Amino acid sequence: MKGESGLPLVPQPTQAPHAKRSSLKLAGQMILVTGGLALLALSQGYAIFSPIVDIVQWKDAEAQCAQADVLVPHRNAEVYSKLSEVLGLPETRARAINWLSGAVKVPTEVYDDMDPVGVDPQWEVFGPFHDYLAEAYPLVHSNLKLTKVNTYGLVFDWIGSDSSLKPILLAAHQDVVPVETRTVKDWTHPPFSGHYDGEKIWGRGSNDDKSGLIGIMSVVEMLLEQGFKPTRTVVLAFGFDEEASGLQGAGELNNYLVDVWGENSFALLVDEGGGYVEEYGTTFATPSVAEKGYLDLRVEVKMPGGHSSVPPAHTSIGVLSSLLVQYEKEPFDVALSREDTLYKTWQCYGEHGRDVSSALRTLIKASMKSKAALTALEKFLFQNKFYKSMIQTTQAITMINGGVKSNALPEEAYGIVNHRISTQSSTHATMMYDKQRLTALAESFNLTYTAFGKHISSTDAPSAGSLTLSAAFTEPLEPAPVTPTDLESHPWRMLSGTIKAAFNAAHQLEGSNNIIVAPGMGTGNTDTRFYWSLTPHIFRYAHQNGGKDVSTGGGLDRGVHTVNEAIVVDYWMEQLRFFMTLILNADESEL
């Protein structure tokens, strides 16, 4: 996955000293609200629209985080029981370790600037990886139909006995981010060693995303060993350039799947994503049900060149610098909405978090109806820049280029501004605000101004140069459609029950509330951005144990996209239980 998508989905508000003071202040305010101030307001006949009374009025509102029951296979109970037992055997653990370790040993690095398949020989690294999969999973390759799309994309069809049932789609990606040569010495174990130290498997891709791909393949192989034959068709789709553009892999896979199965042809899709964490004394699983949009903005200034000994008042680099500073002066507006996925996550915190303070719980509940409470909750959450970034259309100046010689005036300079677009916004709104913010400066510098193919200023009058805004690298990406998460949605209810069952089995628990399933959202984009037309029920979830210290990354911060990537084998074995339970539950559930 992209680096940021490996971040924890629900870190706690920062625990810096000022944040602790803010929490105490919040608690104090709420005590006053629910106590003396409320009585004073009522006794004096104050209007009910007072913000304080408004919060009190709605403090007993019911949070919206209904939970599904734990879901254990019934029709497939026998194979579920047998394979559950097999997964607990030491020899199965050893076998699983060998499977993932072996996959890590086959490098499958991809780079941003690779030419298309068939032109660039760097894609050929996937040939040995396919050979490894064929050797490691003989039953998968002999029982499932394999189609290779654009040479290296893999589609496995496990045809079910009932063609009237929509298939499920399980996705992952074969590629990994490159290991910088200069960092090899910093790895505890060599990056493509697949070393197992008794606790973790080390190496690039051990977590992102060969753990997901090998997890799926391993479970299907073991289900075949148990003689399982699906009623509902299962399709596996593995891209090979998710860490780059995704166009060669998932982009082509989507075209193939639409051609073969049609649009809206799958009951649900599960791809890489987050897992579960302990938050406020309760374990929460947070499948990602939304993704922000994406735009790389190119800001380009062209001006006459010449010798630097007779410079103009402003060079192209100087003008570009002023334009980029203007962007940072005027960030995008941000406000917490009840439609935001993050808000729904916190509704679940408010209803199910055992250690949520009474003041915060009251605020969360009241925010469902009270604008004042919603504003107060926003201020509380936005103390943490992570939460604010999840809601806001962000901007980061990530690249700048200009000039070729110290004594030559630069004829051209450009910068790249990376946007992650709010789920409540659009690419159009983002581009319009980008255009608007530079209009006055373009005029003050006497630049001919063109934004996204349209002339903003007159091209007839003399000018000192030109300013051009355009999308860089790839086409802008709209925010993803939000997956339904109410209990009337059969796929969400089935996934929720499956998560609870897998968690209970791994931790030897019973009951439906040992883990709470809440809507979540990452900050990056996955291969699912190509699959929107296949199903409205897209879940980005890997059932990885994120530990407790979520404010600093916790267990999910395992060297993804950097040195010392590794995965805890105990956690990965639990991921296998999840995939097993998911396939068996989906096979017999109404979706």
Residues annotated within the binding site are 173, 208, 243, 271, 561
Active site residue 225: no
**466: part of which helix (H) or strand (E)?**
strand 465-471
What interhelical angle do 90-104 and 210-225 show, nearest 10?
A: 140
SS3 state of residue 477: strand
Of the candidates 379, 414, 421, the residue with the CA atom closest to the CA atom of residue 295: 421
**298: part of which helix (H) or strand (E)?**
strand 293-302
Of the candidates 250, 269, 272, the residue with the CA atom closest to the CA atom of residue 477: 250
Distance of CA 104 to the CA centre of its chain: 23
Of the candidates 442, 537, 413, the residue with the CA atom closest to the CA atom of residue 480: 537
Binding-site residue positions for Zn(2+) = 173, 208, 243, 271, 561
CA distance 500 to 578: 9
CA distance 347 to 353: 10
Catalytic residue among 242, 279, 378, 478: 242
Of the candidates 386, 385, 393, the residue with the CA atom closest to the CA atom of residue 420: 393
CA distances from 561 to 241, 259, 539 (A): 14, 34, 22
- Buried/exposed code over 547-584 (b: 16+ C-beta within 10 A; e: otherwise): beebbebbbbbbbbbbebbbbbbebbbbbbbbbbbbbb
Provide the terminal-to-terminal Cα distance of the chain, rounded to the nearest Å.
27
Catalytic residue among 175, 278, 300, 527: 175
Give the long-range contacts of residues 547-555, CB within 8 A, separation 24 or more: 547/277, 547/278, 548/277, 548/278, 550/8, 550/10, 550/11, 550/12, 550/277, 550/278, 550/279, 551/11, 551/12, 551/13, 551/14, 551/15, 552/11, 553/7, 553/8, 553/11, 554/8, 554/277, 555/277
SS3 state of residue 241: coil
CB atoms within 10 A of CB 276: 30
CA distances from 199 to 72, 401, 429, 485, 572 (A): 29, 45, 48, 35, 11
CA distance 190 to 177: 15
Distance of CA 346 to the CA centre of its chain: 18
CA distance 239 to 256: 12
CA distances from 157 to 220, 230, 241 (A): 11, 11, 21
Active site residue 242: yes
Active-site residue numbers? 175, 242
